[in-house]
Amino acid sequence: MSGHFDTMQVCLKGHQITARYTKSPQFRQERCEKCGAKTINACQNCNAPIRGYYERPNVISLCGTETPLYCHVCGKAYPWATRLKIRENLKIPAWIKKAIKWAGHNLVTIIISIAITVISAVIIWNLGIK
């Protein structure tokens, strides 16, 4: 037996309200509790239901369902697509975060090392001139 998609309810800013709109109507909300925006559960362009949790018989998935950016029927971007895409692009890679954290801990050492390097360079350069 194959599965089927439940419907997802999302606020206009892209906060997912529920991925089981049909199965668990108790999670439906008129407004988003995070930002107060209106919620929708169907494409505003073609009225196709937003794809939510993929329901399969005898399978319980604990993974969250990702909020889609485009309608799977008409292909139009949902109102939150731009916002979520920007957020996706702003994600800083873990190694940069680590580097920033490390730099924060060692800021004084780094500044002193740079200062020493610059001063030495200037002295060496001055000596070379003479």
Q: How far is the CB of 14 from Zn ion (least distance, A)?
A: 7
Of 55, 34, 36, 40, residue with least CA distance to 10: 40
Angle at 17 between CA 60 and CA 27, to 5 degrees: 70
Which among 17-25, 44-52, 57-65, 82-90 is the span making contact with Zn ion, rule CB under 5 A?
44-52
Can residue 8 be called a binding residue for Zn ion (CB under 5 A)? Answer: no
Q: How far is the CB of 58 from Zn ion (least distance, A)?
A: 31
67 and 41 Cβ atoms separated by less than 8 Å: no
Can residue 15 be called a binding residue for Zn ion (CB under 5 A)? Answer: yes
* Residue type for position 119: I
69 and 78 Cβ atoms separated by less than 8 Å: yes
Query: By CB under 5 A, what part of segment 48-87 binds Zn ion?
Result: 48, 71, 73-74
Query: By CB under 5 A, what part of segment 102-121 binds Zn ion?
Result: none
Q: What size, in residues, is the chain?
A: 130
What residues line the site for Zn ion (CB under 5 A)? 11, 13, 15, 32, 34-35, 37, 43, 45-46, 48, 71, 73-74
